Amino acid sequence: MGALSLSQVTKAFGKTEVIKGVDLTVNDGEFCVFVGPSGCGKSTLLRMIAGLEDVSGGDVMLDGVRINDLAPAKRELAMVFQTYALYPHLTVRENMGLALKQAGEPKAKIDASIARAAGMLALDPYLDRRPAELSGGQRQRVAIGRAIVRTPKLFLFDEPLSNLDAALRVATRIEIARLHRELGATMIYVTHDQVEAMTLADKIVVLRAGRVEQVGAPMELYNNPANTFVAGFIGSPQMNFLKSAAVGQQGETTGIRPEHLTIARDAGQIAGQVSHVEKLGGETLVYVRAEPHGLLTVRLFGEHDFAVDEAVWLTPDATRAFHFDANGARLR
Amino acid sequence: MSQSRSHTGRTIAAHAVLLTYTLIALFPVFVIVINSFKSRKAIFADPLALPMPENFDAVGYTTVLQQGHVVQYFANSLIVTVASLFFVLLFGAMAAFALSEYRFKGNMLMGLYLALGIMIPIRLGTVAILQMMVAAGLVNTRTALILVYTAQGLPLAVFILSEFMKTISDDLKNAGRIDGLSEYRIFFTLVLPLIRPAMATVAVFTMIPIWNDLWFPLILAPSEATKTITLGSQVFIGQFVTNWNAVLAALSLAIIPVLALYLIFSRQLISGITAGAVK
């Protein structure tokens, strides 16, 4: 159980409106990711669902019950924070058991829940340590364990991987995906990293300036973006935006992903000059300055040699191009 | 090489300045302590001489300790100081938590109002305070002193602690809220331990003026039963004759408790248990 629905939810701090009427449904067992640039309101929205921020207007419903005015502890949800937020004076075991203890559960049940969560996250050897004695990755696992112990209807993650280094981030990401499969619980995950969004989500919600820009499955957003903002945000490296008039395409802007541009030394559609080359081993990214479009990215598989300032030609794969009007909306 | 030498030079200069300051600050204390162990004649003959077998005389201490009330004076000072400190820290921290944690109308103004007391000396209100205490029947009680000192210490405590409270991670408090802790539990079990160093700073700044104060004990609680040690020492200073041995001995003794309290708090100043709470 754990179906969440938001209808016309708004949030204002004084006169500034930061969430401008969000409608959203998250089904039971779904992994939903809120993604957007900093300041888009994704964390605020999560905090409103958690009950840590007041809702200025609209309804927040969990399993058909309006929870707008319910205290955070009564909402049957658990939250994992970016800064871990472990209680420094308690051991790992006490950290994980605190919520159940507060709820007045019997000790045997608390111990069983802790044992189960610790087993899932390989935390058994650390149960009697304090947070200060753990590494960053272990602390975040404890924070996730603390959430699991409560068997909540809804898991909330607020940028849980941002404080971890790159290798740990990948490992923890995989762990979270595994937990979602094992627990089958509804999870809402906030991140500004589109890679995390693409790899974890069943459903991605792209937010900009307090509004939902598009909702959909990762591949749906990748293959069918509704506007230039979503097109530019989803996919890495970012989509190239060409001036349609200069390449004989319809609309104001033509979007083409870096993997759908071909590069050649002798002939092609767009003339340009190599400005930078990034060799990653498996793939090579070539940045080409081409007027009037600006800097374009070409993604090539394998190793390729291009010299800086070399003259090259680019050709977009017209069948994979997206067309947008002057306001950025998709033309279909 | 040259850099490391100039670094050493700077260290020496810094230590020279600090040592000079320490010597100047400690000199009066030192003179009081050494003279408290000398005979009256020796004090006047050579105030800077160290106590030696030929000029040693503990008459000051015997006078002070035989004066039956001295223990009572010490107890009064300790009770008043510790109780005031407790209330200053408790109410100061609670007010600071409210000011830094909750958004409400007039939050800023309230903070400014509470900090105003730093700029206005409480002694300006002595007459009004005395009238109030008389009306409340609190003259010659330790309660009167505790109330006045709590009021005197709160502005600085609120000011310093609210700045520190703002640095505590919101995530930690929010985690507590989601786990079902009450606001009081969040304050006492999560926030207070993290601002211990700040509390210790406030405690030291608050404690010393209270312990040393002569003004309010003299005006509000001069009775034999409620005299503090600073006031009590004054019995040895007469208009015509002053028992210097006793005065110096009483002052030397008065240093000990405040020194002990300081040592307790300064240990807190150094330790920080923030590590591990948040990244």
* Of A87, A79, A82, the residue nearest A163 (C-alpha): A82
Smallest CA–CA distance from A83 into chain B, residue: B278
Average pLDDT over residues A184-211: 93
B180 touches chain A (CB under 8 A): yes
CB contact under 8 A, A50 and B181: no
The β-bridge partners of A5 are A25, A61
Residues ≥6 apart with Cβ < 8 Å to A263? A286, A288, A298, A300, A306, A312, A313, A314
- The ipTM of this complex is 0.84
Which runs of E-coded beta strand occur in chain A?
4-13, 16-26, 31-35, 57-62, 65-66, 77-80, 154-158, 186-191, 203-208, 211-216, 240-243, 253-256, 261-264, 270-279, 283-290, 294-301, 311-316, 322-324, 330-331
Q: What homologous superfamily is domain A4-230 in, according to CATH?
A: P-loop containing nucleotide triphosphate hydrolases (3.40.50.300)
Please answer whether residues A25 and A4 qualify as being in contact, where contact means their C-beta atoms are separated by less than 8 angstroms. yes
A132 touches chain B (CB under 8 A): yes
Q: Per-residue pLDDT tens for B183-236?
A: 999 999 889 988 888 898 889 889 989 999 999 999 999 998 999 988 888 888
- Give me the pLDDT at residue B239, please: 76
CB contact under 8 A, A82 and B171: yes
Report d(CA B21, CA A316) in Å as an integer.
Answer: 76
Please answer whether residues A78 and A147 qualify as being in contact, where contact means their C-beta atoms are separated by less than 8 angstroms. yes
- Give me the pLDDT at residue B177, please: 93
Q: Per-residue pLDDT tens for A156-189?
A: 999 999 888 888 899 899 999 999 999 999 999 9
B279 to chain A: which residues are within 8 Å by CB?
83-84, 136, 139, 163
Reply yes or no on domain A237-331 having CATH 2.40.50.140.
Answer: yes
Which of A50, A52, A83 is closest, CB to CB, to B169?
A83
A77 to chain B: which residues are within 8 Å by CB?
178
- For residue A86, the distance in angstroms to the closest alpha carbon of chain B comes to 5
SS3 B115: helix
Low-confidence ranges of chain B (pLDDT < 50): 1, 272-279
Q: Per-residue pLDDT tens for B31-50?
A: 999 988 888 888 888 888 88
Q: Per-residue pLDDT tens for A234-270?
A: 988 999 999 998 888 888 999 999 999 999 998 889 9
CATH 3.40.50.300 range(s) for chain A read: 4-230
- For residue A259, the distance in angstroms to the closest alpha carbon of chain B comes to 38
B178 to chain A: which residues are within 8 Å by CB?
50-52, 72-73, 77-79, 99
**At residue A282, what is the residue type?**
G
The β-bridge partners of A264 are A313
Average pLDDT over residues A113-132: 92
pTM: 0.80
Enumerate the domain spans of chain B.
1-57, 60-270
Say which CATH class B60-270 falls into. mainly alpha
A73 to chain B: which residues are within 8 Å by CB?
177-181
CATH 2.40.50.140 range(s) for chain A read: 237-331
A87 to chain B: which residues are within 8 Å by CB?
172, 175-176, 189-190, 277
- When the pLDDT of each residue in chain A is averaged and rounded to a whole number, the result is 92
Report d(CA B35, CA B107) in Å as an integer.
Answer: 53
Smallest CA–CA distance from B188 into chain A, residue: A89
Please answer whether residues B96 and B167 qualify as being in contact, where contact means their C-beta atoms are separated by less than 8 angstroms. no
Query: Could you tell me the strand order of the sheet in which A330-331 lies?
Result: A240-243, A253-256, A322-324, A330-331
How do strand A322-324 and strand A253-256 relate by DSSP bridges?
Answer: antiparallel
